[in-house]
Structure 1
Amino acid sequence: MGPKRELKFALESFWDGKSSADDLLKAASDLRSSIWKQMKNAGIKYIPSNTFFFYDQVLDTTAMLGAVPASYLLLSKPAKGVDTTFNLLSLLDISSQSTSK
């Protein structure tokens, strides 16, 4: 999020329509660069992966691993402009889901 929560404020500004996606991406890029420079200056030779998240590191990691269960998706809300009767589970590729318990 940054030492002064820069990414949080940039993300909220984007969500509120006060800034553009480009503004958010620039803030994120600047923050990533700053963090990588801090790691380098601290003597870290290899930058670990998955050190940057826009909002929720647990959600990002879960999505990256393909471990989003149907019950987490049922709790989500449709994006603005999407019909509220939209079936959220239609976003899942059921054929790739394990049926074993």
Structure 2
Amino acid sequence: MDELLAKAMQGVDPDAPGAFWQVFLNLMRLVPWAALFWWSLLFVAVGALLGWWRGRLAEGVAWAVVLGPIGWIVVLARPRVARPPPLPPRAGRHGGGV
């Protein structure tokens, strides 16, 4: 914990008016942003695939964006979209009869 605190406080004067923002920026520099981006992209792709499989593509993407892999469980827990049976073919072009 002391090492993290030392990295956060590196080059910061605690009495300066902008000390909070400097500590905040130092902490944000420690976050592995590229890895987070690629993992998020993977979560959304799997969510889209599961949503497409369940007939809920947009919902699968939305849940994956909001909850990550937990969103996959939400999509899988929801029932499939029921599709109505196809309509019978029409008898004639004008519907027949007068």
TM-score by length of 2: 0.31
Looking at CA atoms only, which structure, 1 or 2, has the larger radius of gyration? 2
Choose between structure 1 and 2: higher helix proportion: 2
TM-score, normalised via structure 1 length: 0.30
